[in-house]
Amino acid sequence: MAEAVLSFQDVQHRHKIPAPRWSKPWAQRLGPGIVDLNLKLYRGSILGLVGPNGAGKTTLLRMMAGILPLQTGSVMERIDSEEWTHVDDLRTLVGHKPEQVRWQGKTTVRNILLELGEMRGTEGHRIDALLNLVGLHHRRDEQLDNLSQGMRQRLSIAAALLGSPKVLLLDEPFNGLDPVAAQAFTELIQRLANKGVSIVISSHMVAQLGGVIDRIGLLHRGQLLDEGPLGDVETRLALNGRYTVAGTGEVDLEELLKGIEVDQIEHESDEDGWSLTFRGEAQEVLQALLSNGVALSSWAPVAPNLVEWLCAATGMDVQDISLEVASSAMLPMRTVEVGEDE
Amino acid sequence: MSDFGRIRSIAARIRRERLFGIRMNIMLPILLLFLPGMAWGFSDPNIILPGGHQPSTAMEVLFYASLGVVFGATMCAVLLSFDGVSRDRASGMLEVRLAQPMPRRHQATALVLGYLQSILIPVYGLMVLCLVIVRIRMGEWTNLEETLVYFVSTGLILLWYTLFALLASTTAKEQGTAVAFGVGVWFFFTFLWALVTTMVAYASGVAVGEANDPAWVALEGALDLLSPNGVYHHLLETQLPTVDRGVPMWQTWAAAIAWTVLPWWALQRRMEALVP
């Protein structure tokens, strides 16, 4: 198991929102944000931070990037196998790619990185290496106005990697990318993780994170409901072991699967064929179907979607969750114990 | 790279970008018209100003020509820097910049210096041209002290308006508000301040606009300390022995320091609390 490099302990940042009164028109009150969050980031791991719109993903990333101050809590950095030290300025450790940066102007790709590099103390030759890494080397003298969306995303990654950060934060990195660019982007992220960079990706599109992340954090109403290795969280929330099988012809599934422990989730059938989504012993089901000569057209494990993750983590149904997204209330939620060193 | 070197380098990038931008191409004719144009006009040997006054020294001509700075250069300073922060906020660049480990106070200083330099360089160039024009038309140079005060006070008024515009830019969530705030402040001090002075005079029982009434002159002089344009003129008046509006030189310089320090401090604080 990779070692934790950064630990956020009871951190909080709630946005101040205007609450004017007759006697105090400039008054503000604490609104939504991140509440008492504990999270550890691991070397070389890719954490997918998922949650619906308004869950606090961007706020959390901005806190982790040192852009928003911590109102409470602390951040610790591992300095060796046993010792941890307080982090005063997260910005020296963390590279941050915001959700959307409209790189624009007559400045060239290399010059904008040089400018940002000066703010970080990064040298010129390192910038050339970064442009190579993100595949923008041949566009180094291109004006920002002439870049495509995919190139802008790559430039954002290069900007986030200035200063060789230990942690890389990517806010909705797949937005606006075509499938080819998304694939290239995924490979780049995996290369960085292999080099030991801890990566956090926020997204409300869980499907896009499939095959990319190895850990998942479920964020809702500013609270981290659960976090850990993907398989562990799936098991904890009983979202593991789900499969869908489809075939042709008429079959009596109840009869065929008699005696096998199967929890049917969905069963559809029409004149073209049938499909069954279930939780249970996949191997036994498959064996039973094949041994009875059933013609199968597909067989696949079912990955949970965002709604299923959130419903399982909060114990709420989908209607309640969507209503809660619209609300700015910061009521405590059911959360699973997280943050223990694995 | 040292902190100062970093600030200087960022400021130089802003300066280069703004100095050779389209906006500067639009502003240059305005500056040409307002600065050398006014110096040319006021140095005409046959000019008679309202009230029958005729400028007799080079400094007096520059004092009158400083209207070009108040009306033209300050507006250009506002129009150059009104989107210094709001443009980056709108494009997402602000978040990238704030994520860099350069202290926000240093980033604010680099912004101020960058935008100030972009307006100071053309204005100072044209002011040198003004000195030459006055020399050619009147046969007289300003002395060293007068020249120094002329340049320093012009630098200060441009700094103040740059600071106001940047402050507006940090507060505004979008460009329209930023330009409205920046131009609004410029409009208030340039055009509406006379109205404020008149209202205060009326409320104080002072005859309005009586140039020979010592009470009016004193009130106007005191109120001018509360306006950047007024302080600018007070600074220039320190080099005009014939003008005395009852404001001691130390008060003028104290006001100049206050107009410099307070908005700069406010900008630093805004930058510290800035949320993308």
Write out pLDDT tens, residues A82-110: 888 998 889 999 999 998 899 988 889 99
| Helix locations, B172-248, DSSP H | 175-187, 193-204, 214-224, 228-237
Residues of chain A contacting residue B174, judged by C-beta atoms under 8 Å apart: none
What is the C-alpha separation between B77 and B152, in angstroms, rounded?
16
Residues of chain A contacting residue B101, judged by C-beta atoms under 8 Å apart: 66, 89, 91-92, 119-121, 163
Mean pLDDT of B4-15: 91
Q: Does the reported pTM lie above 0.95?
A: no
B243 or A114: which carries more pLDDT confidence? A114
Q: Tens digit of pLDDT for each residue in A37-67?
A: 999 999 999 999 988 888 899 999 999 999 9
Q: Does B92 contact A91 at a Cβ distance shorter than 8 Å?
A: no
Contacts of A56 (CB under 8 A, 6+ apart): A32, A33, A34, A219, A221, A222, A223
Question: Which candidate from B90, B95, B101 shows the least CB-CB separation from A120?
Answer: B101
Report the residue of A13, A106, A118, A170 to disrupt the B interface, i.e. the one with the largest count of B CBs within 10 Å: A118
Q: Does B100 contact A116 at a Cβ distance shorter than 8 Å?
A: yes
Write out the two tokens for A231. 């398989």
Percent of chain A with pLDDT over 90: 29
- The answer to whether the beta carbons of residues A16 and A31 sit under 8 Å apart is yes
Please classify residue A326 by burial: count the beta carbons closer than 10 Å to its beta carbon, then call 0-12 exposed, 13-18 middle and 19+ buried: exposed
Write out the two tokens for A266. 């969905």
Q: Per-residue pLDDT for A257 more than 90?
A: no
* ipTM over 0.90 threshold: no
Residue in chain A lying closest to B12 (CA): A115
Q: Per-residue pLDDT for A341 more than 50?
A: no
The band of A322, judged by pLDDT with boundaries at 50, 70 and 90, is: low
B207 or A274: which carries more pLDDT confidence? A274
pLDDT of residue A69: 92
Distances (CA, A) of A234 to A49, A100, A245: 14, 30, 20
HSE-CB of A77 using CA atoms within 13 angstroms: 15
The band of B48, judged by pLDDT with boundaries at 50, 70 and 90, is: confident
Q: Per-residue pLDDT for B206 more than 80?
A: no
Q: Per-residue pLDDT for B157 more than 80?
A: yes
Residues of chain A contacting residue B98, judged by C-beta atoms under 8 Å apart: 67
Residues of chain A contacting residue B109, judged by C-beta atoms under 8 Å apart: none
Q: Per-residue pLDDT for A317 more than 80?
A: no
SS3 A65: coil
What is the C-alpha separation between A152 and A100, in angstroms, rounded?
9
Other CB atoms within a 10 A radius of the CB of residue B146 amount to 21
Other CB atoms within a 10 A radius of the CB of residue A133 amount to 17
Closest approach of chain A CAs to the CA of B175, in angstroms?
A: 15
Span of A315-324, B37-46, B101-110, B189-198 with lowest mean pLDDT: A315-324
pLDDT of residue A55: 86
Q: Per-residue pLDDT for A272 more than 50?
A: yes
The band of A339, judged by pLDDT with boundaries at 50, 70 and 90, is: very low
Residues of chain A contacting residue B13, judged by C-beta atoms under 8 Å apart: 115
What is the C-alpha separation between B159 and B20, in angstroms, rounded?
20
Span of A276-290, A317-331, B150-164, B228-242 with lowest mean pLDDT: A317-331
Closest approach of chain A CAs to the CA of B264, in angstroms?
A: 21
Please classify residue A294 by burial: count the beta carbons closer than 10 Å to its beta carbon, then call 0-12 exposed, 13-18 middle and 19+ buried: middle
Q: Does B91 contact A103 at a Cβ distance shorter than 8 Å?
A: yes
What is the C-alpha separation between B26 and B20, in angstroms, rounded?
11
The band of A321, judged by pLDDT with boundaries at 50, 70 and 90, is: low
Distances (CA, A) of A228 to A9, A214, A310, A323: 16, 9, 15, 27
Q: Per-residue pLDDT for A123 more than 80?
A: no
Residues of chain B contacting residue A115, judged by C-beta atoms under 8 Å apart: 10, 13
Q: Tens digit of pLDDT for each residue in A197-253?
A: 999 999 877 777 878 889 999 888 899 988 999 888 888 888 878 888 888 888 888
Q: Per-residue pLDDT for A20 more than 50?
A: yes
The band of A324, judged by pLDDT with boundaries at 50, 70 and 90, is: low
What is the C-alpha separation between B103 and B64, in angstroms, rounded?
42
Question: Which candidate from B1, B92, B102 shows the least CB-CB separation from A102?
Answer: B92
pLDDT of residue A307: 76
The DSSP code for A3 is: P
Q: Does A101 contact B93 at a Cβ distance shorter than 8 Å?
A: yes
SS3 A143: strand
What is the C-alpha separation between A27 and A130, in angstroms, rounded?
46
Mean pLDDT of chain B, nearest integer: 89
Cα A164 from chain centre = 21
Q: Does B97 contact A119 at a Cβ distance shorter than 8 Å?
A: yes
Q: Does B91 contact A101 at a Cβ distance shorter than 8 Å?
A: yes
What is the C-alpha separation between B220 and B183, in angstroms, rounded?
24
Write out the two tokens for A219. 């964020």
What is the C-alpha separation between B88 and A104, in angstroms, rounded?
10
Mean pLDDT of chain A, nearest integer: 84
Report the residue of B93, B94, B171, B175 to disrupt the A interface, i.e. the one with the largest count of A CBs within 10 Å: B93
Q: Does B276 contact A156 at a Cβ distance shorter than 8 Å?
A: no
- Cross-sheet strand order for the sheet of A28-42: A28-42, A4-18, A72-78, A84-86
Q: For chain B, how big is the Rg over CA atoms in Å?
A: 20
pLDDT of residue B27: 93
